Structure 1
Amino acid sequence: MTDTDMLHMAALEKRCEELETRNAELEAKHWDECRQIAHYEDELRRATDEKECS
């Protein structure tokens, strides 16, 4: 493997790590948003149920 090949491999490995980090951040954001939506749906369901019972 040449020096140039090694530099390209190192650059690719660094980019791969950056993408994995970004992916983890986006997954965490996605699940946070899903939890928030579920929370709001529960609140809406409770409010709707209370209104129907009144």
Structure 2
Amino acid sequence: MALVSVKHVLISESVDPCCKTILQENGIEVTEKQQMTKEELIAEIQVSDSSTD
């Protein structure tokens, strides 16, 4: 089984604030944007993906 290293997470729905805190405490960068349109979500994912190249 391959291990995946998660470095950045986009939270696009309402979650308990402790979720963001736990991720950040474990070295994961968190972007929190809610109520995004489909187009905004796609654009955000593409920007994040291109910055990892």
Instruction: Give TM-score scaled by structure 2 length.
Output: 0.32
Bigger proportion of residues as helix: 1
Bigger proportion of residues as strand: 2
Instruction: Give TM-score scaled by structure 1 length.
Output: 0.31
